[in-house]
Structure 1
């Protein structure tokens, strides 16, 4: 950063945390509010049904929260190297820093953190976001980075992901991210339908829809994994190579999909083996005897019980006196 009329220029940077940003925080807060609201009414549920409701709601909110949150994360693939690299164009100055790349469904975050942070009389701590969403131009973001004078390592990595690069990975990641995002939204809709079906008299249909939710989560992973079929473009920093690997969001989505498969398998199995146990877990009772078994003792008027006993006798006659 150079002086201009004795004043350091200010470049507005498109900074975005590569794991937790405003969108993810909003999603987490919304689902936490729903969970907290349920905890407030949980003491009003009697018996073992309280534990069943708690397990069902927490598990369901976890699945829904993951499906929505991973849409906005930037760690589906992540990679980092430590290298000595030039810092600015037309300058021989070299800095020792960590260069990281964090790829999400909507774009890529490139980080540059000096070791130590203060070098060359500057604070080397950058986090730049380049988006490839529909309606946003990645190349325009890259051009703005050039005009703002971003450090060489960030521009070098960003150029590899641009649509003008011979690597050609921009189109692959953009298309894969779009399809994965669309598939995740379908999984979210299936999750909503499964929650409604679990409250129906036949909860096995909720199990089938949970199976569909897990299937679309796996389809999203397969859509994003198609970029691995493309020739790998190696990003070199000296003798070291920056090679992204699957990140936390990818494995979290996989674990959530497998959890959906497990829940669906248990529900479907119980439907055919122990339907009474399945209905007890979902607090669905068909007759009064099951209600009495689930809720405990029920008060019965002794006079009504005596009339019911006498009415079963063949010679019983009920007379009503007029006042």
Structure 2
């Protein structure tokens, strides 16, 4: 007799490490290709655009909040076996990633090295992913952390992170669109409007950070493993978004100030200066036939007509 797609019940199954998220890898490759192509063609573009393709890439990262803890914890349900492991929590805009790595990796006759992802975006059901983890028999520490983010958990963390993540993602997409518009404007003789759009881009990036940080306004459930507590803090994607948002503000203000106080310098930087001097120089150039000059056949002045000959 078999259950669960050919897996024999009541027998221990070998735990497997979760593979990397294929969709995230595809997004990273696409935006890296876009960046490399943009850097190759930018020398031939009249006007210099501000390249920030990772504005959209941070949508798919999972380290907006991160936390680690080392603890002695039970490894399986209905078992008294204890293991020493590092437990990590990585919160993104569309879900959480929970990591479990043993110290050492090989304990209780198994390889303790897990990386499980639970999504809560529009096309994914977090509770369904959690129930699948229960059926697969994931280790107790992973299920304990994942249970904190389920919809029926009294912590109410699922609703807080899901709503704030959706609003942060939406404002980031708007910032990406305004960045594209600013790049187009920087290729035209309307540089000041490109600066304004950079300011709008920075504003929407800051709005996304404010939206995500609203989860800190509500009480958070403690994630404890015995006496050890897993504390989470803002991760690399959060701080990277903040830095890029501030850079957009600085670049936008610089463009606007130069437009009103030193427009020639601004046009020179973007290679949009007026080439009137060059045009005048080209117009005054005269073609001289050297063969005619050497033979003495050329006239320095046009011939004058004799009125009597008419």
- Quote how far apart the aligned CAs of 1:241 are: 0.8
| Aligned residue number for residue 208 of structure 1 | 196
* Contact 1:78–1:103 (Cα < 8 Å) also in 2: yes
Structure with larger Rg: 2
- CA contact 2:73–2:141 (8 Å) conserved in 1: yes
Following TM superposition, by how much is the alpha carbon of 1:5 offset from its aligned partner in structure 2, in angstroms? 8.4
Q: State the secondary structure of the residue aligned to 2:68.
A: strand
> Alpha-carbon deviation of 1:148?
0.7
Corresponding pairs, count? 287
**Alpha-carbon offset, residue 32 of structure 1:** 3.5
Give the aligned partner of residue 95 of structure 2.
Answer: 107
Which residue of 1 is the match for residue 178 of structure 2?
A: 190
Q: Cα gap change, 1:190/1:95 in structure 2, threshold over 3 Å: closer, same or farther? A: same
1:120 match: 108
Kindly provide the CA deviation profile for residues 205-243 of structure 1, in whole angstroms up to 9, marking residues without a partner as x.
000001000000000000000000110211011111111
Partner of 2:141: 153
Structure 2: which 5+ runs fail to align? 1-6, 289-300, 306-310
2:31–2:54 CA contact under 8 A, matched in 1: no
Question: Per the alignment, do residues 80 and 135 of structure 1 end up closer, same or farther by CA in structure 2, a change over 3 Å counting?
Answer: same
- Work out which of the residue numbers 206, 217, 225 in structure 1 matches 2:205: 217
Match of 1:302 in 2: 286
Query: Please, what is the CA RMSD of the aligned residues?
Result: 2.9
2-structure distance, mates of 1:239, 1:25: 37
Q: Distance in 2 between matches of 1:156 and 1:5?
A: 23
Which residue in 1 is equivalent to 2:3?
Answer: none
Distance 1:175 1:204, change over 3 A: same
Do the aligned partners of residues 164 and 319 (structure 1) sit closer, same or farther apart at CA in structure 2, a change above 3 Å counting? farther
Matched residues in 1 for 2:222 and 2:304: separation? 97
Q: TM-score, normalised by structure 2?
A: 0.83
Cα distance between partner residues in 1 of 2:188 and 2:29: 29
Once the two structures are TM-superposed, the CA of residue 7 in structure 1 deviates from its matched residue by 7.7
TM superposition score normalised by structure 1: 0.80
Q: Tell me the SS of whatever aligns to 1:142.
A: helix
1:96 and 1:11, CA in 2 relative to 1: closer, same or farther beyond 3 A? closer
Cα deviations by residue, 1:249-294 (Å, 9 ceiling, x for unpaired): 00000001001001001101100110000011111123422x579x
Residues of 1 paired with 2:13 and 2:132: CA distance? Answer: 15
| Partner residue, 1:26 | 26
* Cα pair 1:79 1:101 within 8 Å, conserved: yes
Shift of the 43–177 alpha-carbon distance from structure 1 to 2, 3 Å rule, reads closer
Match of 1:80 among 65, 68, 73: 68
In structure 2, relative to structure 1, the CA distance for the partners of 1:84 and 1:140 (3 Å cut) is same
Q: Which runs of 5+ in 1 are unaligned?
A: 305-315
Structure 2 match to 1:135: 123
In structure 2, the partner of 1:236 is 224
Secondary structure of the corresponding residue to residue 153 of structure 2? coil
